[in-house]
Amino acid sequence: MVVICSSNMVGGAMKSSQPVQCVFVRLSVLCLLLCPSVLPQRNDRPNFLLFMVDDLGYGDVGCFGNDSIRTPNIDRIASEGAKLTHHLAAEAMCTPSRAAFLTGRYPIRSGMGANHGLRFLPTIANTGGLPANETTFATLLKQAGYATALIGKWHLGLHCASGGSLCHHPNNHGFDYFYGTPITNFRECGEDGESVYYMTSVYRRYKQVCWAYLVGAASLLLIKFLGKMHVRWMTLLSLLTFCTLVMAFPEVFVIMLRPWNCVLMENEKVAEQPYSLKDLTPNLVNKSLKFIDDNADMPFFLYHSFLKVHTALFTTKEFEGRSRHGRYGDNVEEMDWAVGRILDAIEKKGLSHNTFVYLTSDNGGHVEEIRDGQREGGHNGILRGGKGMAGWDGGIRMPTVLRWPKDVRPGTVVDEPTSQMDVFPTVLRLAQLKTPGNRVIDGRDLMPLLTESKNVTDHRFFVHYCGSVIHAARYRPPTGESVWKAHYTTPNWDPGTEGCYDAFLCDCRGDYVTHHDPPLLFDVTKDPSERSPITPESEPKFAEIISTIDKGVKDHMSSVEQVENQFSLRNILWRPWLQPCCGHLPFCSCANNA
């Protein structure tokens, strides 16, 4: 016992003070006998270093089978720890996926499931976001004395009331320090003059409607002049005004997207607007290194959330043209370099043995992201579909690695289905904290699978939401090898393709999807690419499997409470007075001064 006690302290803050150590040894022995629950001491608590990559695909990483892209640092995490080959995001889109990751709950529970086509928060100056009464694991770690920081992308809102308040801000969701963008990187944030694509595609549909109005109005005008029909001037005028407004409004947004939304903040202050992408990767790395440096003596949680490898693509000079896969590949390799820099810093501080490292992506590679014939989105390997397609595994099965030297054997591979929501209870358990009991937590502790003390996941069902509708569900029976997946609804791909190229992102409902009854069924263990649907003829238990999955989905649905939708029109409406702006609206601009 004495040996355990003193070795506990060697790595900790007490190592240089002999007498204190002796007292502690005695206290610890006493403690081991009398009060086991009080242990361990503060300095034993693990650090957490979590990386979130934006839009990285399953096939973009060396250890996930890519033999021509170089990701040595990610591969090293896997070889020194574990690779999770069946790790699922809760949605195929950034905002809901990130909400689920931080709360351990399906996005629908926090109102983060959109009931229309826009599934990410479109501006910083709206009132939608992660509700104040949702608890992130950052908040729980912070309450327990951890130093916490978010460096990089947030995308879970800023203000929740029209009058301001910053209630969705990372500082109010458990992060002591925030440096990064409260929203996301948009293609329009690039500095190459390339713009107006991402949001335009969202508005394209509405624009078509308006063109129809305009043509209608013009025809009426013509008819009036030809004197063939009596048309009131007021009717014409109001029609024209309406059309101009509806058309101009999105245009203004598209033009103002960069100055308004490409913003870096340091805590509550704007640090750079619009941001320059040129040195952004080393800039964010520097912030993370400083945080580690400042907090090496206490337990910390660093969440390094890349703006990469989302478009606009950007790298420093050193990474231009380095990969064999164009600008996208350069971006992946620079991201891996950044991971390596931060891991080195942990190593130099002697903290590797006590730091839980995890890396994943918020959703799959964006297959429709093509510019001038060059793919600028990720590659989802053998998986079908991608970002935005909530049911297909290309959208939600994420390349994920982790390292936890205390318990996880190097080279561990977990093929069982797991979820990003599992990080919530896993982190809390490692930090010896209680999981909140006053709400449904959908995540399950990963440790039994990681330590191979269990070989079947505790999750029986996973539901796969597209906004607020369930597109598919996955069922892992407690025995056997199969993992079944039923697609109730699939997006309508453009003919001859496996993507929604015309719309840029697949939609969840209406004319944009096909419903399946009976559902399309796959065994994703045997057929991870979801190419050969199982039929009642090929699988005698077909009906039984489907009815089991139906029941799982029903049970899940009955556990979902009605909450305010964070994507309601009211919540996504842009409000000029909520716009973070350095300078004078609408001309927001300041150089980096952080």
Ligand X SMILES: *[C@@H]1O[C@H](CO)[C@@H](O)[C@H](O)[C@H]1NC(C)=O
Question: Which residue is it, tokens 């609206």?
Answer: 585
Residue whose beta carbon is closest to ligand X: 379
By CB under 6 A, the residues from 317 to 356 that bind ligand X are 325, 328-329
Among 66, 73, 185, 489, binds ligand X (CB under 6 A): 66
- Least distance between ligand X and beta carbon 120 (Å): 22
Cis, bond preceding 274 (omega within 30 deg of 0): yes
- Closer to ligand X by Cβ: residue 1 or 594: 594
By CB under 6 A, the residues from 107 to 166 that bind ligand X are 131, 133-134
Q: How far apart are CA 331 and CA 344, in angstroms?
A: 20
Among 123, 283, 315, 565, binds ligand X (CB under 6 A): 283
Instruction: Yes or no: say if 365 and 60 are a contact pair by the CB < 8 Å rule.
Output: yes
Written as one letter, the residue type at 48 is F
What single DSSP character describes residue 178?
A: E
* Residue in 407, 64, 141 with CA at minimum distance from that of residue 299: 141
Near ligand X by CB under 6 A, which window of 148-156, 377-385, 396-404, 580-588?
377-385
- Least distance between ligand X and beta carbon 457 (Å): 10
Strand, helix or coil at 9? helix
- Least distance between ligand X and beta carbon 285 (Å): 7
What's the token pair of residue 317? 């000079």
506 included as an active-site residue? no
- Residue 77 has φ and ψ, to the nearest 5°, of -60, -45
Quick check: 369 binds ligand X (CB under 6 A)? no
What's the token pair of residue 136? 């992130």
- Least distance between ligand X and beta carbon 438 (Å): 7
Catalytic residue among 86, 87, 155, 304: 155
- Closer to ligand X by Cβ: residue 99 or 243: 99
- Give the total of residues touching ligand X (CB under 6 A): 25
Instruction: Yes or no: say if 139 and 169 are a contact pair by the CB < 8 Å rule.
Output: no
Positive/negative CA dihedral, 100, 106, 107, 110: negative
- Closer to ligand X by Cβ: residue 77 or 383: 383
Residues 541-580, one symbol each (x = binds ligand X by CB under 6 A, - = not), give --------------------x-x-----------------
Among 11, 72, 117, 282, binds ligand X (CB under 6 A): 282
- Least distance between ligand X and beta carbon 73 (Å): 16
Question: Which residue is it, tokens 């209406």?
Answer: 510
- Closer to ligand X by Cβ: residue 370 or 456: 456
Written as one letter, the residue type at 32 is L
By CB under 6 A, the residues from 451 to 480 that bind ligand X are 455-456
Q: Please work out, in degrees rounded to the nearest 5, the angle formed at the alpha carbon of residue 521 by the alpha carbons of 519 and 526.
A: 170
Near ligand X by CB under 6 A, which window of 27-35, 65-73, 138-146, 543-551?
65-73
Quick check: 41 binds ligand X (CB under 6 A)? no
Instruction: Yes or no: say if 60 and 332 are a contact pair by the CB < 8 Å rule.
Output: yes
Near ligand X by CB under 6 A, which window of 158-166, 260-268, 335-343, 376-384?
376-384
Strand spans (E) along 431-579:
461-466, 469-475, 484-491, 513-523
- Closer to ligand X by Cβ: residue 6 or 286: 286
Quick check: 60 binds ligand X (CB under 6 A)? yes
- Least distance between ligand X and beta carbon 283 (Å): 4
Q: How many CB atoms lie within 10 A of CB 568?
A: 15
3-class DSSP string for 382-446: CCCCCCCCCCCHHHHEEEEEEECCCCCCCCEEECCCEEHHHHHHHHHHHCCCCCCCCCCCCCCCC
Question: Which residue is it, tokens 């997006």?
Answer: 491
Among 128, 378, 386, 394, binds ligand X (CB under 6 A): 378
- Closer to ligand X by Cβ: residue 63 or 92: 63
Near ligand X by CB under 6 A, which window of 30-38, 237-245, 282-290, 445-453?
282-290
Residue by residue, DSSP assigns 173-207 as: GT-SEEEEESS---GGG-SSS--S-HHHHHHHHHH
Task: Give the list of residues 6+ apart from residue 256 with CB closer than 8 angstroms, or none.
Answer: 586
Cis, bond preceding 182 (omega within 30 deg of 0): no
- Least distance between ligand X and beta carbon 589 (Å): 20
- Closer to ligand X by Cβ: residue 180 or 378: 378
94 included as an active-site residue? yes
3-class DSSP string for 301-327: EEEEECCCCCCCCCCCHHHCCCCCCHH
Catalytic residue among 94, 210, 466, 506: 94
Strand, helix or coil at 103? helix
- Least distance between ligand X and beta carbon 244 (Å): 39
Q: How many residues belong to the chain?
A: 594
- Least distance between ligand X and beta carbon 564 (Å): 6
- Closer to ligand X by Cβ: residue 290 or 516: 290
Residue 51 CA, distance from chain mean position: 10
What's the token pair of residue 29? 């022995």
Residues 213-242, one symbol each (x = binds ligand X by CB under 6 A, - = not), give ------------------------------
- Closer to ligand X by Cβ: residue 251 or 318: 318
- Closer to ligand X by Cβ: residue 97 or 281: 281
Active site residues: 94, 155
Binding interface with ligand X (CB under 6 A): 59-60, 66-69, 131, 133-134, 279, 282-283, 286, 325, 328-329, 378-379, 381, 439, 455-456, 481, 561, 563
